[in-house]
């Protein structure tokens, strides 16, 4: 992981026999930023982390799986605060410098005895190579850990951006949650760091969907240690661009890993919308297509059923002008002006089993574009979600 950080994970017993509690700690106070769920029903740790990160500085992240600490009322808030305080004591910093995350079932209280003991052990085992354990400790219905490291050069120095994530969707994961934690040894002013995180998430993690169900706990955090020795990025310029590109690349890779590991997913698809009046219009259309159960089951079946794409565009709420809608599967043109064109059905089928599946919707109403990444809808999704708690 990037210089200036250590991490560890332990099996605290919140879940049976697996890593379920982790700490990422900086050697010294860091610039920090976060983006959080848009769901009104926010979990207690989101309330606490939002408050702590507002200062633009932090020292550590403490996270547990197995229990989302959501819909837990005032006692949940007390537990989230205590997680931060316990980690702070063990790490020798202020509670307000610790960011807290939880993921798992909603409506259960944290088993605080196990959490306290887990935090103490985790804090005592911090190591430079602990990042992979963190990636494993935060998983819920994910089938494999998601970890990324991107390098770039800033001011002649090598700089790293590392990231771990969990979730079957930003918008959606099973019960609770996309979590993404980035660390970097770049030196970045807090305001710049926050803008860079917002931009990276907006172009990547906010463009993925598995089932459209935004969670109560979605959180992306970044800590910047500056330990690379590179000059501090205070504003626009080449260094800023290099850092933002590295962060966006890391976030992009995690986003794709999440969709590919989406609950029951067997295919990865990009839905791209062009020719919209505004970027927001393009995004709404792309999201409606990407979330349509009929489109997602067609992708599952490799069925070039573009009529479902057209129907999804039609119900998106975005007005389509007289030019109608053109639809492409990969580079194959299958509909023009909202009506069928002659095309080869076998070629269309091949596009629907390509990796990635590329669906392109062209409006004739402007020049704005947008896109979403999605996966197919399979038996596996039903299996995972019909019996999650039982």
Catalytic hit among 140, 152, 177, 183: 177
CA 139 to chain centre: 13
Contact, 23 vs 6, CB < 8 A? no
Give the C-alpha separation, 52 to 59, whole Å: 10
Of 373 and 381, CB closest to a second copy: 381
Give the C-alpha separation, 321 to 24, whole Å: 51
User: Measured in Å, how far apart are the chain's first and last C-alpha atoms?
Assistant: 37
Q: How far is the CB of 281 from a second copy (least distance, A)?
A: 13
Annotated catalytic, 177?
yes
- Which helix (H) or strand (E) segment is 34 a member of? strand 21-36
Of 369 and 385, CB closest to a second copy: 385
Strands 326-329 and 157-166: unpaired
Angle at 144 between CA 286 and CA 134, to 5 degrees: 105
Sign of the C-alpha dihedral, residues 54, 176, 122, 12? positive
Q: How far is the CB of 335 from a second copy (least distance, A)?
A: 6
Classified as helix, coil or strand, 148 is strand
| Helical H segments across 263-344, by residue range | 279-291, 293-301, 306-314
Helices 112-124 and 73-91 cross at an angle (nearest 10°) of 20
Residues that bind a second copy (CB under 8 A): 38-42, 68, 70-73, 76, 105-109, 172, 174-176, 211-216, 292-294, 297-298, 300-303, 305-308, 310-315, 319-320, 325, 335, 337-340, 377-379, 381-383, 385-390
Let me know if 113 is exposed, middle or buried by CB neighbors in 10 A (0-12, 13-18, 19+): exposed
Q: How far is the CB of 39 from a second copy (least distance, A)?
A: 4
Classified as helix, coil or strand, 387 is coil
Q: What are phi and psi of 33, to 5 degrees?
A: -150, 160
Strand order across the 326-329 sheet = 339-340, 332-336, 326-329, 357-362, 268-276, 368-375
Q: How far is the CB of 377 from a second copy (least distance, A)?
A: 6
Q: Comparing C-alpha atoms, which of 164, 174, 153, 341 is closest to residue 245?
A: 153
Q: What are phi and psi of 146, to 5 degrees?
A: -125, 115
Q: Which two tokens stand for residue 6?
A: 């250590």
Classified as helix, coil or strand, 16 is coil
| Helical H segments across 32-175, by residue range | 44-53, 73-91, 112-124, 131-137
Classified as helix, coil or strand, 131 is helix
Q: How far is the CB of 384 from a second copy (least distance, A)?
A: 8
Q: How far is the CB of 71 from a second copy (least distance, A)?
A: 5
Q: How far is the CB of 273 from a second copy (least distance, A)?
A: 15
Q: How far is the CB of 195 from a second copy (least distance, A)?
A: 25
Which residues form the catalytic set?
Answer: 177
């Amino acid at each position: 992981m990037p210089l200036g950080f250590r991490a560890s994970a332990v099996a605290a017993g919140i879940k049976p026999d697996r890593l379920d509690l982790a700490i990422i700690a900086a050697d010294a106070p860091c610039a920090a930023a976060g983006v959080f769920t848009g769901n009104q029903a926010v979990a207690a740790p989101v309330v606490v982390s939002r408050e702590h990160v507002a200062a633009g500085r932090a020292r550590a992240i403490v996270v547990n799986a197995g229990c989302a600490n959501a819909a837990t009322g005032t006692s949940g808030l007390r537990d989230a605060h205590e997680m931060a305080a316990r980690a702070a004591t063990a790490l020798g910093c202020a509670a307000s410098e610790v960011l807290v995350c939880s993921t798992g079932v909603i409506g259960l209280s944290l088993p605080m005895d196990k959490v306290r003991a887990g935090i103490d052990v985790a804090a005592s085992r911090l190591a430079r190579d602990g990042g992979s354990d963190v990636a494993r400790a935060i998983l819920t219905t994910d089938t494999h850990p998601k970890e990324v490291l991107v390098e770039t050069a800033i001011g002649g120095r090598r700089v790293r951006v590392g990231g771990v994530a969990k979730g079957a969707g930003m918008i959606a994961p099973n019960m609770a949650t996309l979590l993404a934690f980035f660390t970097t040894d770049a030196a970045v002013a807090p305001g710049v760091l926050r803008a860079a995180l917002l931009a990276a998430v907006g172009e990547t993690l906010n463009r993925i969907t598995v089932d459209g169900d935004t969670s109560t706990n979605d959180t992306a955090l970044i800590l910047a240690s500056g330990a690379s020795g590179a000059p501090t990025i205070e504003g626009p310029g080449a260094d800023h661009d290099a850092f933002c590109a590295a962060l966006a690349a890391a976030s992009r890779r995690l986003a794709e890993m999440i969709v590919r590991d989406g609950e029951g997913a067997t295919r990865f698809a990009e839905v791209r919308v062009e020719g919209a009046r505004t970027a927001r219009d393009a995004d709404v259309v792309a999201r409606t297509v990407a979330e349509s159960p009929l489109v997602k089951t067609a992708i599952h079946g490799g069925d070039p059923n573009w009529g479902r794409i057209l129907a999804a565009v039609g119900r998106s709420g975005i007005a389509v002008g007289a030019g109608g809608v053109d639809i492409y599967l990969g580079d194959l043109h299958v509909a023009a002006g909202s009506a069928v064109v002659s095309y080869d059905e076998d070629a269309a089928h091949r596009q629907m089993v390509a990796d990635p599946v590329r669906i392109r919707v062209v409006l004739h109403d402007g020049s704005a574009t947008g896109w979403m990444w999605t996966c197919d809808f399979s038996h596996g999704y039903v299996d995972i979600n019909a019996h999650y708690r039982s």
